[in-house]
Amino acid sequence: QKEVEQDPGPLSVPEGAIVSLNCTYSNSAFQYFMWYRQYSRKGPELLMYTYSSGNKEDGRFTAQVDKSSKYISLFIRDSQPSDSATYLCAMSLSSSNTGKLIFGQGTTLQVKP
Partner 1 sequence: GAVVSQHPSRVICKSGTSVKIECRSLDFQATTMFWYRQFPKQSLMLMATSNEGSKATYEQGVEKDKFLINHASLTLSTLTVTSAHPEDSSFYICSATPGTSTGNTIYFGEGSWLTVV
Closest CB to partner 1 among residues 1, 100: 100
Q: What is the DSSP letter of 29?
A: T
Output DSSP code: residue 25.
E
Binding site for partner 1 (CB under 8 A): 6, 8, 32-34, 36, 41-46, 49, 51, 88, 92, 95-96, 98-106
> Coil, strand, or helix at residue 34?
strand
Give 56 or 60: the residue with its C-beta nearer to partner 1: 56
Taking the least distance from each CB to partner 1, the nearer of 19 and 36 is 36
Min dist CB 16 to partner 1, Å, is 27
Min dist CB 106 to partner 1, Å, is: 5
CA–CA separation, 53 and 59 (whole Å)? 20
Number of Cβ within a 10 Å radius of residue 50: 18
Q: Which residues pair with 49 in a beta bridge?
A: 34
